[in-house]
Structure 1
C-alpha cells in the first residue's frame, strides 16, 4: 500500500504475488496482470493465494502503524501523501471495488440477489419499523 518507514519491518509478499517491494520498501505492481481472469479452475487457488497474501500485507502494515506514523509522508506512484490520507484513500478504493462486486452479483443473481441493506422499494417500510422501536 505505501512505502515502509525507515527502521521498520516491511512485510514481503510471497514470490507468486504480483506486488513486490522495492529496496525503498514501496510496492511495485504488474497492474495489468491483476485484471487477467483465471484461464481454468486450476488457476483459481493461485489467485486466492494472491488475494490472501495482499490482505496479509495490508493488515500487517496497519498493525504496525503508530500514531506518529499517520503524519509521516509516503509516496504512492510518485505522489506524496500523509500516511493517514493514504489509508483513507485505500479505504475509499476498496469501497469502490465492493460496489463493483455488488453490482456484478446483482447482475449475475438477478431476482435471487439478497440485498446487503434495505432492498429497493422497502425504505419506507424499514423507516416505519425503526420508528416503532423507539
Structure 2
C-alpha cells in the first residue's frame, strides 16, 4: 500500500462526509432529533458518536492508542446535542480531526504502526477500519433522513433511473469504472 492508496481512502471519507451533509440539508432541524423508539439513535446521537470516535481515533493517532482514556463512549449515545448548530460544530470538528491526521501522513511515517484498543494496525488498515465504521453510520443517517424527508432528492442514482444514468454516461464517453464524482 502507498500514499496514493491513502489519498483514495481520503477521497472516500470526503464522499461520505458529503452524503451526511446533503442529508442534513434535506431535513428539518427537528428531524435531526427524531428517535423511532428508545432503542434507536437519532441523527444527532449518531453524529455525537461519530464525533467522539473521530476525536479518539485520530488525535495523535501516530503516537497514542486510538481508544483514548478521556473518551466517554457511553455518553456518545445520549442526547447531548440540542441544536443543529451544535450538531454541525461537532460534525465539522470530527472531520477536521480525521483530515488533519490523514494529511500528516508522509513517506517518512507511512510505515508507522498505529494502535486501536491495543491492537496494531498499519495506517491503511486503521484508515480502512474507520472508513467502514463511518460509512455504516452515515448510511444510517441517510436512511433516517430519507424516511423523514417530505421531498427527498436522491444522493445517488434515483430509483428506476439506472438505465438512463448509464446511457448518459456511456453516451458522453465518461465511463472509467467510477461514477462517484458524478453522482448527485
TM-score (ref. length: structure 2): 0.51
Higher relative contact order (CA 8 A, sep 6+): 2
**23-32 or 95-104, which deviates more:** 23-32
Kindly tell me the number of residue pairs found equivalent between the two proteins: 116
Bigger-Rg structure (1/2): 1
Structure 1 residue aligned with 2:76, among 25, 30, 34?
34
Query: C-alpha displacement at 1:39, in angstroms?
Result: 6.8
Query: C-alpha displacement at 1:3, in angstroms?
Result: 7.0
| CA distance 1:26–1:84, shift in 2 (3 Å) | farther
Relative to its length, the structure with more strand (as a share) is 1
Correspondence for 1:4? 60
Listed as ranges, the gaps of 5+ residues in structure 1 are 7-21
| CA distance 1:120–1:80, shift in 2 (3 Å) | same
1:119 maps to 2:161: no
Listed as ranges, the gaps of 5+ residues in structure 2 are 1-56, 174-184
Q: How does 1:44-123 map to 2 (within 5 A)?
A: 45-109=85-149, 112-123=151-162
Query: C-alpha displacement at 1:123, in angstroms?
Result: 0.9
TM-score (ref. length: structure 1): 0.67
RMSD: 3.1
